[in-house]
Structure 1
Amino acid sequence: MPMFTQRITAALAGATALSLALAGCGDSGGTSSSSGEAVTSLSILDYYNNEPDKSLVQKGLDACATKLGVTLQRETVPGADLIPKVLQQASSKTLPDVLMLDNPDVQQIAATGALAPLNDLGVSADGFTQGIVDATSHDGKLYGLAPVVNTIALFYNTKLLAEAGIQPPKTWDELRAAAKKLTKPGRYGIAFNANATYEGAWQFLPAMWTNGGDETDLTSPQVAEALQLWVDLVTSGSASKSVINWTQGDVKDQFVAGKAAMMVNGPWNIPSLNESPQVKWDVVQFPVNKPGQTPIAPLGGEAWTVPLNKDEAKQQKAADFVKCLSSDDNELAWAKARFTVPTRTALGPQYVKEVPSMKAFSEQVANARSRTGKLGEKWPDAAKVIYQAIQLALTGQASAQDAFKKASGS
Structure 2
Amino acid sequence: MRFRSTPPGGHGRRGARLAAAALLLLPLAGCGDSGGPAGDANTLTEIDYYDAAPQNSELPALLDQCGAQAGVRVQHQQVPRVQFMPKLLQQASARTLPDLALVDNPDLAQLAATGGLVSLSEAGLSTEGLYPSIVAAGRYEGQTYGIAPGVNGLALYYNQDLFRDAGLTPPKTWTELTSTAKALTKGNRYGIAFSAVGTEEGSFQFEPFFWTAGASLKRLDSPEAVRALTLWKDLVASGSASRSVVTWTQADINDQFLAGNAAMMVNGPWQLPTLNATKDLHFGIVPIPVPTPDAKPVTPLGGEVWTVGRSTPERERKAVAVLKCLLGQEKSAEWSAKAGYIPSNTAAARQLAASNPQLAPFVEEVATAQARTAELGTAYPKVSEALYNAIQASLAGGKSPQQALSAAQGSLG
Question: Are 1:344 and 2:352 an aligned pair?
Answer: no
The correspondence of residues 88-107 of structure 1 with structure 2, limited to 5 A, is: 88-107=90-109
Distance 1:388 1:93 in 2: 35
Question: Are 1:4 and 2:9 an aligned pair?
Answer: yes
The correspondence of residues 8-23 of structure 1 with structure 2, limited to 5 A, is: 8-9=14-15, 10-14=17-21
Contact 1:336 1:355 in 2 (8 A): no
Question: Are 1:60 and 2:62 an aligned pair?
Answer: yes
| Deviation (angstroms), 1:131 | 2.1
Contact 1:114 1:307 in 2 (8 A): yes
Secondary structure in 1 matching 2:284? strand
Distance 2:397 2:117 in 1: 45
Question: Are 1:80 and 2:105 an aligned pair?
Answer: no
Cα deviation per residue 1:274-325 (whole Å; 9 max; x = unaligned)?
Answer: 111221111111001112111111000011101111x201111101111211
Question: Are 1:371 and 2:372 an aligned pair?
Answer: yes
Q: Which moved more, 1:245-254 or 1:398-407?
A: 398-407
| Deviation (angstroms), 1:16 | 9.7
State the AA in 2 paired with 1:169: P
Distance 2:265 2:185 in 1: 13
| Deviation (angstroms), 1:407 | 2.6
| Deviation (angstroms), 1:266 | 0.4
Match of 1:384?
385
Match of 2:236?
234
Distance 1:80 1:28 in 2: 19
Cα deviation per residue 1:116-155 (whole Å; 9 max; x = unaligned)?
Answer: 1011111122221222222211111000111010001100
Cα deviation per residue 1:136-190 (whole Å; 9 max; x = unaligned)?
Answer: 1111100011101000110001111111111000000100010001111111000
Question: Are 1:165 and 2:167 an aligned pair?
Answer: yes
Contact 2:13 2:200 in 1 (8 A): no
Distance 1:398 1:408 in 2: 14
Question: Are 1:286 and 2:288 an aligned pair?
Answer: yes
Distance 1:72 1:167 in 2: 50
Contact 1:268 1:338 in 2 (8 A): yes
Question: Are 1:320 and 2:327 an aligned pair?
Answer: no
Contact 2:14 2:381 in 1 (8 A): no
| Deviation (angstroms), 1:77 | 1.0
Change (3 A) 1:130 1:211: same
Change (3 A) 1:281 1:136: same
State the AA in 1 paired with 2:360: K
Q: Which moved more, 1:243-252 or 1:272-281?
A: 272-281
Cα deviation per residue 1:232-262 (whole Å; 9 max; x = unaligned)?
Answer: 1101100000001111110100000000000
| Deviation (angstroms), 1:78 | 1.3
Change (3 A) 1:354 1:30: farther
The correspondence of residues 203-282 of structure 1 with structure 2, limited to 5 A, is: 203-282=205-284
Secondary structure in 2 matching 1:119? coil
Secondary structure in 2 matching 1:190? coil
Secondary structure in 2 matching 1:187? coil
Aligned pair count? 398
- Candidates 36, 41, 44, aligned match of 1:42: 44
| Deviation (angstroms), 1:403 | 1.4
Q: Which runs of 5+ in 1 are unaligned?
A: 34-38
Cα deviation per residue 1:195-231 (whole Å; 9 max; x = unaligned)?
Answer: 1111001100010111111111111111000001001
Q: Which runs of 5+ in 2 are unaligned?
A: none
Distance 2:24 2:375 in 1: 23
Contact 1:30 1:42 in 2 (8 A): no
| Deviation (angstroms), 1:14 | 4.1
Question: Are 1:134 and 2:151 an aligned pair?
Answer: no
Contact 2:36 2:309 in 1 (8 A): no
| Deviation (angstroms), 1:396 | 4.8
Distance 1:93 1:138 in 2: 19
Distance 1:392 1:94 in 2: 42
Secondary structure in 2 matching 1:155? strand
| Deviation (angstroms), 1:355 | 1.9
Distance 1:11 1:236 in 2: 37
Distance 2:398 2:282 in 1: 38
Distance 1:123 1:280 in 2: 43
Q: Which moved more, 1:4-13 or 1:42-51?
A: 4-13
Cα deviation per residue 1:28-62 (whole Å; 9 max; x = unaligned)?
Answer: 534445xxxxx422111111132222112223222
Contact 1:155 1:281 in 2 (8 A): yes
- Candidates 304, 307, 332, aligned match of 1:305: 307
- Candidates 131, 149, 169, aligned match of 2:151: 149
Secondary structure in 1 matching 2:158? strand
Question: Are 1:180 and 2:182 an aligned pair?
Answer: yes
| Deviation (angstroms), 1:348 | 2.1
Change (3 A) 1:93 1:13: closer
* Percent of aligned pairs sharing the same letter: 43
Cα deviation per residue 1:324-359 (whole Å; 9 max; x = unaligned)?
Answer: 111010011111112210001122221112222100
Contact 1:48 1:57 in 2 (8 A): no
Change (3 A) 1:396 1:385: same
| Deviation (angstroms), 1:17 | 8.5
Cα deviation per residue 1:65-114 (whole Å; 9 max; x = unaligned)?
Answer: 12112111111011111111112223344321111110000111001111
